[in-house]
Amino acid sequence: MCQVLCVYFHHKCSGIERQSLPPSPTTDLNLEERDFHTLKCADLEVCEFCKSKGLLDTTPAWGFPPKDDKEANRPIPNKGERGLGNEKFKPVVPWPHVEGVEVDLESIRRKNKAKNELNQHGGGDNNQQNVIQRQYLTFKPQTFVYRDPVLRPGVLGNFEPKEPEPHGVVGGPGEEAKPYVLGPDYKESIQASIKEFGFNMVASDMISLDRSVNDLRQEECKFWHYDENLLTSSVVIVFHNEGWSTLMRTVHSVIKRTPRKYLAEIVLIDDFSNKAHLKERLDDYIKQWNGLVKVFRNERREGLIQARSIGAQKAKLGQVLVYLDAHCEVGINWYAPLIAPISKDRTTCTVPLIDVIDGNTYKIVPQGGGDEDGFARGAWDWSMLWKRVPLTKREKEKRKTKTEPYRSPAMAGGLFAIERDFFFELGLYDPGLQIWGGENFEISYKIWQCGGKLLFVPCSRVGHIYRLQGWQGNPPPVYVGSSPTLKNYVRVVEVWWDEYKDYFYASRPETKALPYGDISELKKFREDHNCKSFKWFMEEIAYDITSYYPLPPKNVEWGEVCKAHNLYLFSEDCF
């Protein structure tokens, strides 16, 4: 049995043919796109591409491709140094399979089943299957070296702008995020735009796409100094029939307030829009950025959740994925504070503080609630409605200063940053979640229970427009009259809540009979990851939720209540 390691890709070859095209073994490979060449092993025949480079070794591999040639040639640790007991490694099996990013473990098992059976009858190494599986049971280790940020009171931070932000139009409407109020003559057109888009697009279209914004950060945020060795990012924005100016102002704000060396690309995912301004006009408009901004169009309506997973696959240049809704404006020096914790620890997911952009006047104000500083943690009630609760004393005591990132049990879901490879290792979003709703909880639970952490970042602020009353919405016709959000909730609680799911059903008894599809792979994902229980999560991370939203009494029995007539039951008497 051949046991040859292709060091250049850190893949172990054991009679397995790994197919992924292109590129071919004879050409230089683009590691940023994580494409893998065909690798075959038969007796002493090995990967010719790596053989020609002298990159073959018989030492077991780490199991993941290096970032560059220098890393490829570093010494491979011995067994004791790379053992699964090392705290740098956390159990994980990449799922679901996304070609070119992670390994389809099930296909490996199938291909080795017959060989393993032969081994059990004396035909070779009967531990071979375990060796192959073991190689892919780890998160990639933290290899990126990043120094902690340093607070120097009174000394302007190295990422802070040295001069006030220029206006998009000097003295123009909405500059510095001041309210822009239109007169009664615009009433009908404003109402029509709210019905179609959810916002006052009449006012938005009059405000510069490059307008200046107000600085809502704590004063202390201006004195943080960040290691400039930050990870690069792909900003992913999903939209469906979005208004022109709100979408483009989102893009403009990212370009205007993000250091260019860290902004790898902006990826727009058009989820099957039918508005004329989102077709050729959009294609022509983004040409001004020479490929920095890209648009990909879904061939059918996927819904926000799955469109974000598609965005992760299309965004290949940045080391971090930053998700923004299509109607946002990033704040001053938003990037470094948001990305620094991920640069330090690749299993960290970060969320900016979300400010409110008024959908009528476009004034930006802090979101209400939270503690005396406006800091809140993401939470939920037992019917799974999103909530915000004040930052606890326990979390405050973990920090040296009040502007450091803090732990949150959950996120709202529209705006967050996560290392790209880590997101794929987590399996992206549950592919069974439909349209919108519940995905914010699913990814939050998955991160916490499977070894990562979720941080809110006070010094990174992003404004977000919330839809106004009167919006007609835009659900796909196939889902009109159905309840995809409730089905999503059921999938999430069935996979992640363990015995706590009874509290959800007690709060939403109508969901007990909802069909929610197959979740066996998701449960297997939890098992293979050795993910912690929801009880652990509630006690260690979400310990404060029950003080705001007490556990409801569990339902004892399920079914209809009927009135009896001489021992006979009639359906019309059931309710």
The region of weakest confidence among 54-58, 231-235, 303-307 is 54-58
Yes or no: say if 67 and 143 are a contact pair by the CB < 8 Å rule.
Answer: yes
Which pLDDT score is estimated for 24?
Answer: 35
The DSSP output letter for 325 is -
DSSP strand pairing (348-357 vs 224-225): unpaired
User: What are the Cα distances from residue 385, in Å, to 184, 382, 492, 507?
Assistant: 37, 7, 13, 11
Examine the pLDDT at 54 and tell me if it is beyond 80: no
Which pLDDT score is estimated for 59?
Answer: 32
DSSP H or E run through 417: strand 416-419
State pLDDT tens for residues 428-437. 999 999 998 9
Which pLDDT score is estimated for 72?
Answer: 40
Examine the pLDDT at 137 and tell me if it is beyond 80: no
pLDDT band at 126 (very low <50, low <70, confident <90, very high): very low
Which pLDDT score is estimated for 109?
Answer: 42
DSSP strand pairing (263-270 vs 293-297): parallel
| Cα dihedral sign, 231-310-445-368 | positive
- What domains can be seen in the chain, in order of their start residue? 4-134 (no CATH), 180-575 (3.90.550.10)
- Is pLDDT larger for residue 100 or for residue 486? 486
Percent of the chain topping pLDDT 70:
71
Q: Across-strand partners of 564?
A: 569
CA distance 148 to 227: 7
CA distance 501 to 498: 6
Please report the DSSP string for 66-94 in residue order: -SSHHHHTSPPP-HHHH-TTSTT------
**Residue 34 CB neighbour total at 10 angstroms:** 19
Examine the pLDDT at 53 and tell me if it is beyond 50: no
CA distance 342 to 144: 10
User: What are the Cα distances from residue 232, in Å, to 65, 141, 308, 342, 460?
Assistant: 18, 18, 19, 11, 16
Closest listed residue to residue 258, CA positions, set 335, 205, 179: 335
Q: Across-strand partners of 565?
A: 568
Q: Which whole number is the average pLDDT over 71-95?
A: 36
Which pLDDT score is estimated for 143?
Answer: 87
Average pLDDT, the chain: 80
CA distance 166 to 107: 56
Q: Across-strand partners of 418?
A: 321, 349
Q: Which whole number is the average pLDDT over 57-72?
A: 37
Measured in whole angstroms, the distance separating CA 466 from the mean position of its chain's CA atoms is: 20
Percent of the chain topping pLDDT 90:
67
Examine the pLDDT at 337 and tell me if it is beyond 70: yes
DSSP strand pairing (150-151 vs 416-419): unpaired
State pLDDT tens for residues 382-398. 999 999 999 999 999 99
Yes or no: say if 209 and 249 are a contact pair by the CB < 8 Å rule.
Answer: yes
CA distance 506 to 527: 27
User: What are the Cα distances from residue 246, in Å, to 266, 461, 501?
Assistant: 16, 18, 39
Closest listed residue to residue 63, CA positions, set 120, 6, 10: 10
Q: Which two tokens stand for residue 13?
A: 């070859």
> What is the 3-state composition of the chain as percent helix, strand, coil, each rounded to the nearest 5?
30, 15, 50
Q: Which whole number is the average pLDDT over 363-392?
A: 96
CA distance 122 to 501: 48
CA distance 501 to 496: 8
Please report the DSSP string for 150-192 in residue order: EE-TTS--TTS-SSPPPPSSTT-TTGGG------GGGHHHHHH
Instruction: Output the pTM of the full model.
Output: 0.75
Which pLDDT score is estimated for 565?
Answer: 53
CA distance 463 to 484: 28
State pLDDT tens for residues 458-501. 999 999 999 999 998 776 665 545 578 999 999 999 999 999 99
CA distance 492 to 443: 10
347 Cβ contact list (under 8 Å, min separation 6):
90, 139, 142, 419, 422, 447, 451, 452, 453
DSSP strand pairing (453-465 vs 406-407): antiparallel
State pLDDT tens for residues 275-314. 999 999 999 999 999 999 999 999 999 999 999 999 999 9
CA distance 332 to 157: 12
Q: Which residues of 236-246 are buried (b: 16+ CB within 10 A; e: fewer)?
A: bbbbbbbbbbb
Which pLDDT score is estimated for 3?
Answer: 35
Q: Which two tokens stand for residue 404?
A: 């450091």
Yes or no: say if 214 and 331 are a contact pair by the CB < 8 Å rule.
Answer: no
Which pLDDT score is estimated for 139?
Answer: 73
Q: Across-strand partners of 457?
A: 352
Closest listed residue to residue 65, CA positions, set 26, 102, 28, 24: 102
Q: Which whole number is the average pLDDT over 126-132?
A: 32
354 Cβ contact list (under 8 Å, min separation 6):
367, 412, 414, 415, 461, 462, 463, 464
Span between the terminal Cα atoms of the chain, in Å: 68
Which pLDDT score is estimated for 479?
Answer: 58
CA distance 237 to 107: 33
